[in-house]
Amino acid sequence: MPELPEVEVTRRSFVQAIEGALVLDAQIGKTLRWPLGCATQQLVGLTVHTVDRRGKYLLIELSQGWLLLHLGMSGSLRFASDLPAPGVHDHFELVTSQGTLRLNDPRRFGAVVYVGSLADPVAQKLLGRLGMEPLSELFDLVQFQTGLKQRKAAIKQVLLAGDLVVGVGNIYASEALFMAGIRPTVSAAGLSRPRTARLHATIRSVLARAVAQGGSTLRDFSSSDGQAGYFQLEATVYGRAGLPCKVCATPIRMIRQGQRSSFYCPACQKP
C-alpha cells in the first residue's frame, strides 16, 4: 500500500506540471471505492490551482471545488502528455491542457471524490479525524506525548491508527521504532518522555529520508513520472526477519500485530 512518503513523492512529481492547467475532459471507468460525487462533465472548464496532501490523500484544488484522491492498496498515478490508450486497470483520467492525470488501480480500493469545499461533510468524513502531519511543523512534541499517555495499546498499533500522527505506515513505523530503540509491543502510555521525544524525532527523520529516496517500491509503486523508490534498500529491520541486525548482528525477529508484520531487533529495541 502506498504510504505517506509514496503519496508525497507522487504529489511532488506532478504538482508543478499540472498547476494552472485547464481541464479539457474527465473519464471514469470501473467503480472505485466511492462514487465521484459529480458528473465528469462538471469538471470540464475548471482550472487546476495546486495539489496538496493530507495524510495519504492528494487534494487537487480546482477553481471550483476539490478532488480528493486516494491510491488505495495498489494505485498509482501517471501524468504526461503522451500516455498510451487506457488499459484495463486505468479507472480515472483528468485530461488537461498540460497533460493527462491517470489513476491505475488493479485492486480498485482507491478513490477519487469531488467536493465543493474541504468543509463539505464528505471531505470531513475522510479527513476530519486524521492526526498530526509528521513532516509539518504542526507535529508538536507535547501533543504527541500527551496523546500517547492516553493510549494503552502497543506503540506500533497506535502509530498505525493514524488519529494521533498520520501516515506512519507499517514500513516506517518499524524503522522509526528501531531508530528510537523501542520495541513495537511496548504500551504507548508507558513510554517515558525521553523515549517519546526520541520517537518523535525518528518518525520525522525516517519519513523525510523515505521521501528523499523516492519512497519504497515493494511491488509496483512508482511516482507519476515512472520513477521507482529506493528506501526499502536501506531498511534496517523491515522485511529482514532472521537476518543479522545491522547494528549488533542479533537476528531480526518478526511478530504479528493486528494482522500486520512487525520487525524488530530484540537487543537494540528495549521493552
Active-site residues, by number, are 2-3, 56, 260
Bridge-based pairing of strands 66-70 and 57-62 is antiparallel
Distance of alpha carbon 133 from alpha carbon 4, whole angstroms? 10
Phi, psi angle pair for 258, to nearest 5°: 55, 40
**CA angle (1 as vertex; 269, 145 as ends), nearest 5:** 40
Helix (H) or strand (E) holding 158: helix 155-161
Beta bridge mates, 52: 59
Distance of alpha carbon 112 from alpha carbon 114, whole angstroms? 7
Nearest to 127 by CA among 139, 113, 148: 113
Distance of alpha carbon 163 from alpha carbon 212, whole angstroms? 25
